Amino acid sequence: TDFVTPFRPVIFRSVRRARPAQKVCSAMLINFNLKGKIPMTVEPTDTVKTAKDKLEDMILKNAEKQGEDLTEVDLTFTFKDAVLEDEQTLEAYGIVAGSIVNVLSQKLAEVHAEKSGVFCVRQAFKDLAQKGLSGPEAEAEALSHAPPFPLMCDVSDLGELGAGWVLFFRFVQFLGCLCVGLFLLQLPAYFTYMSFDRNDLLLWKNHTYVRKDRPISWDYMTAGNTGPEGADSYWPVVSGLVTAIVMLLVVPQWARKQHDIQVNIDKREVDPNDFALLVEGLPSDATEDEIRRFVEDHARSEHTEVVIVVVSYDLSKFQDMLAKLKEAKAELAEASDERARAILQAQVKELATPWTSSEALRSELSCTGTAVVVLRSQEEHREVLDAWDTPFDWTRDWLSVTFSCLSSLSCLVVQRPRFRGKRVIRISRAANPSDTLWENMDVPLKERAKARARSYSNVALIFGVCLLVVVGLNKLSDKMGNPALLNLLPSIAIIFIRLFASRTIKKNASLQKHTTKTTRDVSILAKLALFYVLSYCVIAVLVNLNPFEGDWYTDGGLVSDISNLMLMNCISIPFSIFSGCKLCMRRCIRDQRFDVKKPPPGLTQKKLELLFEPPDMDQPRTFAKVLITFLLGFLFMPIWPYAILASAVVLFIEYWAFKYELLRQSKRPYRQSKEVSYAALRILYVGVAIFPALQALFLTPSLAHNARVFSAGIVAPLVAIPIILMLLPSKWKRLICGDFLFSVEKQSTHSDTDYYQAQKSWAKHQKYHTTNMVYLNAFEMMNLRAKKPLWDSRTGNIKDPTDRSRPAASSSDAPLPAGSAADAAPGVGSLSKTSLSSLTGKEDPEEATEGSEDEEEEDEDHRAAEETGPIAEVDPAVLAMEEMKHKLPTSMLGGDETTDDDSGLSGSEGSGSDDDIEMGKPLGLRPGAVARIAGLEDPKAMKFNGLDCTVNDWDAALRKWLVTITLDSGEEKRARMAAENLEQKVRVVHLKKKGAEEFNNTVATITGYNEKVGKWNVRLFTGVVATIPAPNLRPI
């Protein structure tokens, strides 16, 4: 601040003095827009080539500082959509002080594309831990050398990408094993079909010799081998009955396993939504204090302690206010007439009034009716949810809000307290911050319902077109004698229509403006699965209805179509992935549409980098594909037992194809939650319900009278049971389907760790008030400028009001040494330090939010709905590194009074040896120990804060330690330090359990003793403060 503040006004004043006096060449400050404004001083007579060289030198030096291997940068300058020629001067293009020159670089876009892939960030973190390094340069270098995941890696290693990806690959493995087991259950039916004569199959053909007169091979082992007269055997029906029962038992147990995985994760980790409530139905003028008081007084019978209230303000208005202010400032900078300048200055002053303080901005913005309330206690959080979030209450409250005329009915009268005495609100569990899309909170429920109706209408329309195309191709094939090549055309057409439908469904889902990424992905999965089932299964049955006219067991019939569909499904997906077709098509389209040397109007570096990025790995699409692969074999298994075995083979190929696509051809995805996997299981229930009906349909023509009656009799209960199970709560369905055989003692779903301790284990982008654009880009900067920060601008942590101790070293006010973990922490109004952060300055809220608006066109993969604004601007690998730096077991956060066995810590091996340290109060300082200086407040001594020193001796007279300080220059100084200004350096050892062992053999700093849990507070090499027992610490 001491450097930047006086520097800029001097330059601006020099320019202003030169303007009215005489037109002379003087230095001017212009901004180069390359993923943010880079201010640089140039001469008006400088050529464009000179300016490029200066900027390139700045970029290369910054890249070297960040550990990036970059030797050259090809820069293209544009100003007012015109490309600047190297030989021309800047003044020749009308560039003056304050002008913004757009910069494009294909080389930087290619480097960004290489860094956007999927790499093992955990290995990079382990390398940092082994070296004990921290800081932006060390982290950038570690990320640049992070290895890719091995293709043969265990899927659990993909946990850093989110639990959803681990569950996806486990789900594919589960379906593959299930296919093999179901085929074994079909063996009685298989041997029944094998027992019939080959000539019986010929009786199914169409004897008109006009169409489908060639029967399929007997070796298909279909139900048609019995002939039209049917089989007296009950084995095909019994096999189907056993299959349905096994599915009803297995699917809930797989859901139980998923639930157990999630419970184990919850026991080990604490998420932000373990403390957060989502309050809906608020008035537009609701304030934070008003919402806080309501929750504290009325959320439950006792007082509820609230940490913070994050109101969902109208982000569209917020961005519109910023745009108007920027536009007015730009007009003022270009105005030359004094009268016009005076008018524009008044306009700028008026537009800037809301930005003077957070209170003024709050008065201008309206509430969208939604807010997130963060509680201190998890126990209170669960009590509030038990009281407010039940299915009956949700339905009643929704009807009262949606139909105000019904609110007076006694059956709909809400007995709970109402906001302002009359406003019906709903309280439920909030989604995690990184899952929340704040930009979509202001969309009304009716608008979302209309968008949903349009989406399903489009699915129906595409299905109708697909049906017409398949019927037309079948008729064409019949007229031409059913050649083998034409029999494949319907399957090929379905594949191409599926690609179009996938893109259309994803586009429609983004238009629905879901409030969370999870609900958006579940919506996409539901629509894709519906379309795939309709196009693959329903169409195949509709165009081949009558088996007695040759529609099932002849060339071009039902079995033939199923085998062709499975063949094309087996070939198309792996071929498109392993051949890199998607990447080649993406590259060709990019090269045809854009030329960096002749860029189209409006092209920015951000858009250019998006074009070079690898494509997204769309998890709903992959789930839908493996589901249709399984359902094709499962639903047609009664008519063709080999179908389920073919599905097992295809699933095996798809497992490796999708794993290769994720790890080698995709950009790093956002952390996917478990909900999409849970939704896939619900779709499986639908498949289990459809199976008995299709079994009766397919087996009836191949069964004799008695077996046919038995088959028809079991259809109704087998269809109803899966539907009932799908609607029941998870714990009920698991109990009904044998969960009592695997039952364990019920454990609490919450821990004693409160929010103020738990927040230390989350990175800045994992907090509600830092993922909301208004709070991050405006309130954070305004509060800091007013010297009234409500949270730490580097970590987003909120100070515990009951903590009266000296501020922790992670506080924004505490000085830390250069190159420490604090240097890598996010700056004010941002979520991370980007590679160009040292070149860009964000002093005002309107500057901080520049570029946060989504500039992508609507047809560019619909990126606007992918992430909430602040998170979308940050490299996912950087966010993953931030999460790993902060992720700690709950017992290391100082909130749980657990034993070492529960905490994930262990005493040192060989207890009682000389190496054991029995640390107690006061701090274990002694001669020879290494300590860190902290907390010096004298202006002359503050420069020593953050430096290491060696403890020499104890001065009993002054009650201070004699220390030797080693300066950065190598010079040594002797001084006396009070014990409270010395933080002992220690080495962490013998941490064994997951989440803690990575800190073994790293250097930490003792900051104090935690009497509550009987452990030492230590600052780890990442800058995070944890609590560790004395036996796990060794002095340095």
Indicate whether 614 pLDDT > 60: yes
| pLDDT of res. 294 | 94
pLDDT of residue 117 exceeding 60, the answer is: yes
Token pair 């709560």 is found at 729
Burial class (CB in 10 A: 0-12, 13-18, 19+), 199: exposed
Rg (the chain; Cα; Å): 33
Cβ–Cβ < 8 Å for 1030, 998: no
Q: What is the pLDDT of residues 127-138, one digit of tens each?
A: 888 877 777 778
Whole-number Å distance between alpha carbons of 31 and 595: 23
**Are the CB atoms for 677 and 171 separated by under 8 Å?**
yes
At 973, which amino acid appears?
K
pLDDT value of position 738? 56
Q: For strand 100-104 and strand 28-33, is the pairing parallel, antiparallel, or unpaired?
A: parallel
Q: Is residue 11 scored above 70 in pLDDT?
A: no
Q: Which is nearest to 514 in space by CA: 448, 581, 431?
A: 448
Amino acid identity of residue 1022, one-letter, is: T
* Joined tokens for residue 759: 């927040």
Q: Is the pLDDT of residue 469 over 70?
A: yes
322 in Cβ contact with 846 (< 8 Å): yes
**What whole-number distance in Å separates Cα of residue 426 and Cα of residue 400?**
11
- Exposed (0-12), middle (13-18) or buried (19+): which is 342, by Cβ within 10 Å? exposed
pLDDT digits (tens, 9 = 90+) for 694-742: 888 888 888 887 777 777 878 888 888 877 777 776 666 656 655 544 4
| Residues contacting residue 851 through CB under 8 Å, at least 6 positions apart | 35, 36, 606, 873
Quote the CA–CA distance of 512 and 527 in Å, as a whole number: 13
Q: In the structure encoding, which two tokens stand for residue 372, read together?
A: 């997130």
**How many Cβ atoms are within 10 Å of 157's Cβ, its own excluded?**
14
Tell whether the model's pLDDT for residue 585 goes beyond 60: yes
CB 275 within 8 A of CB 265: no
Per-residue model confidence (pLDDT) at position 840: 37
Both tokens of residue 671? 């952390």
Packed helices 675-699 and 619-635: angle between N→C axes, nearest 10 degrees = 20
DSSP string, 803-849: --SPPPTTSTTS---TTSGGGGS--TTSSS--TTTTT----SHHHHT
Decide: 150 and 109 in contact? Cβ < 8 Å. Answer: no
Residues contacting 199, CB < 8 A, separation 6+:
none
Report the side by side order of strands in the sheet with 306-313: 306-313, 367-375, 276-280, 426-429
Q: What is the mean pLDDT of the chain?
A: 79
User: Taking a C-beta distance cutoff of 8 angstroms, is the pair 1019, 1004 a contact?
Assistant: yes
Report residue 714 CA to chain centroid gap: 44
Average pLDDT over residues 491-511: 87
Q: So what's the pLDDT on residue 66? A: 66
* Res. 351: pLDDT tops 70: yes
CA end-to-end span of the chain: 36
Residue 19 has a CB neighbour count (10 Å cut-off) of 14
Please check whether residue 777 is in contact with residue 849, taking contact to mean a CB–CB distance below 8 angstroms: yes
- pLDDT for residue 335: 81
The pLDDT tens digits of the residues spanning 405-421 come to: 444 444 544 577 889 88
> What is the per-residue pLDDT across 665-697, written as a single tens digit (0 to 9) for each?
998 887 777 788 888 988 998 888 899 888 888
- Both structure tokens of 103: 């910069």
Show Cβ contacts of residue 801 under 8 Å, excluding neighbours closer than 6 positions. Answer: none
Q: How far apart are CA 558 and CA 566, in angstroms?
A: 12
Range from 212-216, 352-356, 416-420, 1014-1018 carrying the lowest mean pLDDT: 212-216
As to burial, measured by CB atoms within 10 angstroms (0-12 exposed, 13-18 middle, 19+ buried), residue 399 is middle
Write down the pTM of the prediction. 0.82
Strands 276-280 and 306-313: unpaired
Closest CA to 528 of 448, 575, 462, 576: 462
CA 39, 40, 42: angle at the middle one, nearest 5? 145
- Distance CA(1014)–CA(331), nearest Å, equals 62
Distance, in Å, from the CA atom of 906 to the CA atom of 902, rounded to the nearest integer, reads: 9
What 8-state DSSP symbol labels residue 1020? -
The pLDDT, as a whole number, for residue 895 is 53
Which of 174-178, 266-270, 398-402, 584-588 reaches the highest mean pLDDT?
174-178
pLDDT confidence of residue 1005: 86
pLDDT(896) > 80:
no
